[in-house]
A and B are shown apart, each in its own frame.
Chain A
């Protein structure tokens, strides 16, 4: 049985990723400036935004994996699509949780129909449907294909969702601290570090998940 962590290199990478994330949290707590009026709540920004970006990256990968699966039908693309969908949804749920936690002290309300949050919510709902399709769609050979199609359709819908919500309610135009590039380096650098580390974490999780899917699939069918 091929245990993922029986390979030396995988253990080393896992420890490295864990260490990086610990460093990241430490960095955010200690080395970032304290914003007046917002204090500790603002620090969620260093988690919330990188998680959001990696979540969307994950859904982009679902789309690519979908296209590749439809083109050459290799199961590895199906595993990649499913793993990316799972991790993407996990990250999106984290965005939907950290969002209100950040919003309440700063905007005074748990939820607003702000474009980014709303798009994330709708995307989450679409992926609930994705997992239902995977479960109830029929035999696996069919659901793999249908899930690939849904991943592609969902991806094309996202920009339309974003723009429609953006123009929907003018008062929700501005997301606090929206212009990341306009911030001073004391904020940008820890943010970028967090972004890179979350991307590394995401890649590792994806790699691990695809491995598990592949091994389980092979065990079941050989």
Chain B
């Protein structure tokens, strides 16, 4: 479904990613693990076509996302580490815009009910610049619920969330797992990765150290590398 071949990326002539290759199959729930600053966000940005690799190709359903027209990327949904929404627009306006540029016609009532589920019902028309970080993170989950995606790239799914927020977020993730959706999460939490993900990609020293399904992995080895 999503094939990544020989990705190289450097900044200021320092190589961050070297010869990254892997394949994502339908229904994979992948954790991209690695220390802070190792290049997880960079890799995810390349996968979402926010950033261009120096070398390498990416195929989505056998179409090269860098060569073909943009419409072949329909179904890819990228959620970055930053908010990725307009601070001066309301939650409702932002979500309406986001759904519409992803090719989705969504009724206002659906958006309102999704926001209600996240406890943001009385903030629908407020500019999101007054939202707390946790609420902003919640908006990303609202978007992921409203948009019909095939593959999700999520950078730090639990960042800025308190315990309650984490529980709600996990609820969403469980729902997606239940629907056999394909997802890649960038995270530095090995315990969560082993509990919930079917496959682990460990990024260290510019390369993918391993790429295995979680039942074959020894958690001690991972923690040692992450230290």
The residues of A with any CB-CB pair to B shorter than 8 Å are 73, 139-141, 220-221
Contact = CB atoms under 8 A, between A and B. Distances in A.
Contacts of B108: none
B54 A140 contact: no
A212 to B, nearest CB: 17
11 contacts: A73-B54, A73-B55, A139-B11, A139-B12, A140-B12, A140-B13, A141-B10, A141-B11, A141-B54, A220-B13, A221-B13
A141 B10 CA distance: 8
Contacts of B54: 73, 141
Contacts of A139: 11-12
Interface of B: 10-13, 54-55
A139 to B, nearest CB: 5
Contacts of A140: 12-13
Contacts of B10: 141
A86 B13 CA distance: 22
Contacts of A221: 13
Contacts of A141: 10-11, 54
A219 to B, nearest CB: 11
Nearest to B12: A139
Contacts of B13: 140, 220-221
B46 to A, nearest CB: 13
B12 to A, nearest CB: 5
Contacts of A220: 13
Nearest to A145: B52
Contacts of B12: 139-140
Contacts of A73: 54-55
B50 to A, nearest CB: 13
B196 to A, nearest CB: 35
A189 B11 CA distance: 52
Query: Taking each of A73, A140, A141, A220, which has the highest tally of chain B beta carbons within 10 Å of its own beta carbon?
Result: A141
Contacts of B11: 139, 141
Nearest to B55: A73
A139 B15 CA distance: 12
Nearest to A142: B11
B27 to A, nearest CB: 34
A108 B54 CA distance: 55
A69 to B, nearest CB: 12
A140 B15 CA distance: 12
A221 B15 CA distance: 10
Contacts of B55: 73
A220 B10 CA distance: 14
A139 B13 CA distance: 8
B48 to A, nearest CB: 18
Given A73-B54, A73-B55, A141-B11, 8 more contacts: A139-B11, A139-B12, A140-B12, A140-B13, A141-B10, A141-B54, A220-B13, A221-B13
A153 to B, nearest CB: 19
Nearest to A221: B13
A73 B10 CA distance: 13
Nearest to B14: A221
Nearest to B9: A141
A140 B55 CA distance: 15
B195 to A, nearest CB: 37
A146 to B, nearest CB: 12
A73 B12 CA distance: 16
Nearest to A73: B54
Nearest to B11: A139
